[in-house]
Each structure stands twice: as structure tokens, then as C-alpha cells.
Amino acid sequence: MDGFSELKEAVVKRVNDTGAYYSQPVLHLGRMIGTNLKLDGSTQLYPTGTYKISRTLKQPTSGWTKDAEGYEVFLPESLQPLKSGDRVLVAEIRTRYKEDFVIIDIL
């Protein structure tokens, strides 16, 4: 095999590997284990600080909060803070150099 054929095969392999990486699923299901995130199908736990939480899930730490006019209102269960055992929908944000996980909803 000449040098050009080897170079061609190396480039084709690299392009295919890169395409396969970027075509993997970017939405995952997971569960909160304490304050850690565990993605379904994985044994790895992501501790607090290694994942991000959507702004809509960053609610007060109790069921009660104040609305825009200052009245106390009770947050429905779907808007209360994340807690251990919650099933979550997670988006995986990929760049060339790193992956970030963002919890986008509670299921």
C-alpha cells in the first residue's frame, strides 16, 4: 500500500469515527441519586458541579415562594426543586473538547 492510500484510509476512518461520535443520542434519561446525577445505562455518577440545571428548575428550596407581586404561592410538584429519586431528562451538549450535561426537566 502506498502512502496516499494509507493517508486516505486514515482520513476516512477519522471522518467516520467523528461522525459516529456526533450522531450519538443527545437526550438521556437519568435519576437523581442524592445530589448526584446518574444517566440510565451508565454506572458513572456525576456530582454536583459537573452538571448544569435548567433555569426553570432552579426554584426555591421549599414548596412556597413569592410571586411577582409579593404574594406567597405554593409551587406545584412539577416546579419544586430537584430531589433524590427524581427521574430527569438530560440534554448532552457536546463541543469538540468537552461534554456538558444539562438537566432540562423532571419526569
User: Mind listing the pLDDT tens digit for each residue in 1-28?
Assistant: 566 677 778 777 777 666 655 656 588 9
82 lies in some domain: yes
66: domain CATH number? 2.40.50
Q: pLDDT digit string (tens) for 35-48?
A: 999 999 999 999 98
- Identify the pLDDT of residue 85: 94
With beta carbons less than 8 A apart as the criterion, state whether 105 and 54 touch. Answer: yes
Chain center to CA of 16 = 25
- How much is the average pLDDT of 92-107? 83
Is residue 66 very low, low, confident or very high in pLDDT (cuts 50, 70, 90)?
confident
Structural domains counted in the chain: 1
83 lies in some domain: yes
With beta carbons less than 8 A apart as the criterion, state whether 88 and 106 touch. Answer: yes
- Identify the pLDDT of residue 6: 78
C-alpha cell at 57: 428548575
Helix (H, G, I), strand (E, B) or coil at 9: helix
Is residue 30 very low, low, confident or very high in pLDDT (cuts 50, 70, 90)?
very high
Which amino acid is located at 54 in the chain?
A: S
Q: pLDDT digit string (tens) for 69-82?
A: 888 877 776 666 78
pTM recorded for the entire structure: 0.63
Which of 18, 29, 27, 6 lies closest to 88, judged by CA? 29
30 lies in some domain: yes
91 lies in some domain: yes
64 lies in some domain: yes
Owning domain of residue 102: 25-106
